[in-house]
Amino acid sequence: MTTTQQTFYDRVGGHETFVELVAAFYRGVAQDPPLRDLYPEEDLGPAEERLLLFLEQYWGGPTTYQETRGHPRLRMRHAPYPVTPTQRDRWLRHMNAAIDTIHDRLGPLDEQVMRDYMAHAAQAMVNTLDDPEA
């Protein structure tokens, strides 16, 4: 008898859940000028697509991110951008608000696991201190 374990990705609703999460996140980013300034593209669409592919892969969905972009190397990819503790907090505020939009698809443990991961990932991207002159 073969048993397969359901992934987090499948358990929380798969592609549609992650599309909703990422779209809600970028709606927040678009309305937050200091955070929006970290995204060099005029259109947030490419960043939205990259985050969607990354999160889907991370949580057990398709491996399209790795197939198209290679290893995530998140710190390396974010190194050119000044990610300060303030920017981390702004990013995390929008991500937590986005998680709120999919709350009904997440069990309590899954929601906590997702929030914990996002907080850890946001902290890992910090690469410079806040400018006290700003």
Per-residue pLDDT tens for 4-16? 789 999 999 999 9
In this prediction, residues 66-81 reach a mean pLDDT of 69
Q: Are 54 and 72 in contact (CB under 8 A)?
A: yes
Out of 3.40.120.10, 1.10.490.10, 1.10.3720.10, 1.10.357.10, the CATH code matching 12-125 is: 1.10.490.10
Q: Which of 116, 93, 105 is nearest to 20 (CA)?
A: 105
pTM (2 decimals)? Answer: 0.87
Express each pLDDT in 78-133 by its tens digit.
666 788 999 999 999 999 999 999 999 999 999 999 999 999 999 998 988 876 55
C-alpha triplet 18, 99, 46: angle, nearest 5°: 45
pLDDT band at residue 75 using 50, 70 and 90 as cut-offs: low
In this prediction, residues 48-65 reach a mean pLDDT of 94
